[in-house]
Amino acid sequence: MPSDELVALKTKAEQRNRANRICVCTAASCQSVGADRVHKAFEAEVNKSQREEQVEVRAVGCMGLCSAGPLVRIENDETAVLYRNVTEQDASALAQSIGRAPVERLICPTDVPFFTRQHKIVLANCGQIHPERIEDYVAVGGYEALYRAITEMTPGEVLADVKASGLRGRGGAGYPTGLKWQTVAKSPDPVKYVVCNADEGDPGAFMDRSVLESDPHRVLEGMAIAAYAVGANLGYVYVRAEYPLAISRLRLAIRQAKAANLLGQNVAGTRFEFSVDIRLGAGAFVCGEETALLLSIEGRRGQPRPRPPYPAERGLFGRATLINNVETYANIATIVDRGGASYASIGTERSKGTKVFALAGQVKNTGLIEVPMGISLREIVEDMGGGVPAGGRIKAVQTGGPSGGCIPNEHLDMPVDYDSLQQVGSIMGSGGMIVMDESSNMVEVARYFMEFSMSESCGKCVPCRVGTYQMHQILSRMLSGCAGPGDLSMLEELTRAVGETSLCGLGQSAPNPIKSTLRYYRSEYEEALRKSRPSMPLAEEGVR
């Protein structure tokens, strides 16, 4: 028996439904190339021809193929045609094509691997529903999982489902989500919190942004289910201030959910209570580290503290806190809906489900994809990504951002899962995937990421604060041709020392880009050294 709230919202959505829909992507990347103007042009066009009763112009979220934006999909209940690089001038021709033959020159084929190899769970509604309308989300089955969880299931049953799903944290480290939930659920703390980490900061990564911009209710529903399972009544979404569209859509979503009685006190008429608040980051990458993030929510300086105690035992305001990434929460409704076992049937033995990647760099098709775990890296970058634009050879694929590594071409056939990526010296990370062609100098790549880690180090612990600076210095010397003979061995020693002695994940993983490029492209470092003429002797006076 669905709740009255959901039935009412569904009716509302049905009343709005029209036979034909013009769906315009209004996520950040399409907006940056003029999707807003395109959207307005379509509205004016439909208005002019007085076809509002037959045609709906719908602003939707990310359709994935960002490199072909602005994307527009014209659909009715039987067919759908995707158009690429649509401009305001095209609006009239496209609007008139409804009910007639599609406009050939703008068609974006959807029977290509980029679309057909995807398996959408997290992104299922992205590009389909209007992200600013809760009724659209409810119409496709949204909030039903939450309702079912709080009316028909015990918290223990929800937890069991999440454990059975084998879901691992999508923020990067891949800690089993069910285990984390269980620790918080078991805590005797009378006050508990649920926190969503939306402080996405890896260069080239925009998965969380797209999910929040395209389907914010899915994240809220996941958080609410989590709160029910662990016994929390208050949640925070920590989102970086650089994502204004995601923030405004999330704010709106929270208001709508509250108004629809799906958040707040007595959710859907039950005794369950859960409220969500937003906290904005202030531009510090390190605040994506969980202990730093929690301090930042408390209003303190965002810097990590030693663990244990883990946030699950003592987190926000000293209380038991569940902290998961956006994508992790976005999986929850589906897991509860279809059951943990069904979710676990996707993926590999130790990495279940799907993963969203932000495909960027030297590939034809850049954008957002969701693939089942275990797919080969080559399938992603060559088949789906379409390979290097000018037909060149892929030199390496970088995953995991500044905490990850470069995977060379010879390893492209490896499956994409947590453990395989770790074996080749990279990490799954949050989902950034940057493709590099032969023109990339790997020492330069390493320096780029080291510069990032150096400027994002909080400065609390010595190895990260000074070690990232010194590694950056050595790489800079190598690239500017004034490195000394001892620099390479010192660099290697620093990668080990900083990696093993730093306080938090940022410092511990900061040397990974150097480690992996040294492992596969050592000759480029040696080449840089051979070309070097140390004009300035290294200071070796010793302790004065």
Partner 1 sequence: MTSPTRVVTLRIDDREVSAREDETILQVARDNEIFIPTLCCLEGLSTWGACRLCLVEVSGSNKLLAACATRVAQDLEVKTNTPRILAYRRTILELLFSERNHVCSVCVANGECELQNLAQRCGVDHIRVSYRYPELSLDLSNDLFRLDPNRCILCTRCVRVCDEIEGAHTWDVMGRGIDCQVITDLKAPWGESKSCTSCGKCVHVCPTGALSQRGTAIAEVHHHRDFLPYLTQMRGERD
Compute the C-alpha angle 484/489/493, nearest 5°.
130
CA-wise closest residue to 391 among 410, 411, 363: 363
CA pair distance 241, 283, nearest whole angstrom: 7
Q: Does 278 bind partner 1 (CB under 8 A)?
A: no
CA-wise closest residue to 184 among 239, 233, 219, 254: 233
Interface residue with partner 1 among 463, 505, 511, 513 (CB under 8 A) is 463
Stretch that binds partner 1, among 80-88, 193-201, 435-443, 460-468 (CB under 8 A): 460-468
Residue 368 or 443: the one with the smaller Cβ distance to partner 1 is 443
Q: Does 292 bind partner 1 (CB under 8 A)?
A: no
Instruction: List CB contacts of 13: < 8 A, sequence separation 6 or more.
Output: 133, 135, 136, 138, 139
Binding mask 477-506 for partner 1 (x = CB under 8 A): ---------x---x--xx--x--xxxx---
Interface residue with partner 1 among 48, 305, 522, 531 (CB under 8 A) is 305
Q: Does 188 bind partner 1 (CB under 8 A)?
A: no
Question: Measured from the CB of residue 305, what is the shortest distance to partner 1 in angstroms?
Answer: 7
Stretch that binds partner 1, among 45-53, 319-327, 454-462, 515-523 (CB under 8 A): 454-462
Interface residue with partner 1 among 51, 117, 258, 460 (CB under 8 A) is 460
Residue 245 or 538: the one with the smaller Cβ distance to partner 1 is 538
Question: Measured from the CB of residue 291, what is the shortest distance to partner 1 in angstroms?
Answer: 11
CA-wise closest residue to 355 among 343, 364, 341: 343
Q: Does 233 bind partner 1 (CB under 8 A)?
A: no
Q: Helix, strand or coil for residue 61?
A: coil
Q: Does 1 bind partner 1 (CB under 8 A)?
A: no
Residue 221 or 487: the one with the smaller Cβ distance to partner 1 is 487
Distance of CA 532 to the CA centre of its chain: 40
CA pair distance 459, 377, nearest whole angstrom: 35
Question: Measured from the CB of residue 173, what is the shortest distance to partner 1 in angstroms?
Answer: 13
Q: Does 454 bind partner 1 (CB under 8 A)?
A: yes
Residue 390 or 543: the one with the smaller Cβ distance to partner 1 is 543
Q: What are the C-alpha distances in Å from 333 to residues 91, 106, 148, 519?
A: 36, 36, 10, 41
Would you state the structure tokens that stand for residue 324, as one six-digit string?
Answer: 């998961």
CA-wise closest residue to 286 among 507, 41, 62: 507
Amino acid making up residue 475: L
Q: Which residues bind partner 1 (CB under 8 A)?
A: 284, 286, 301, 305-306, 454-463, 465-470, 473, 486, 490, 493-494, 497, 500-503, 538-544
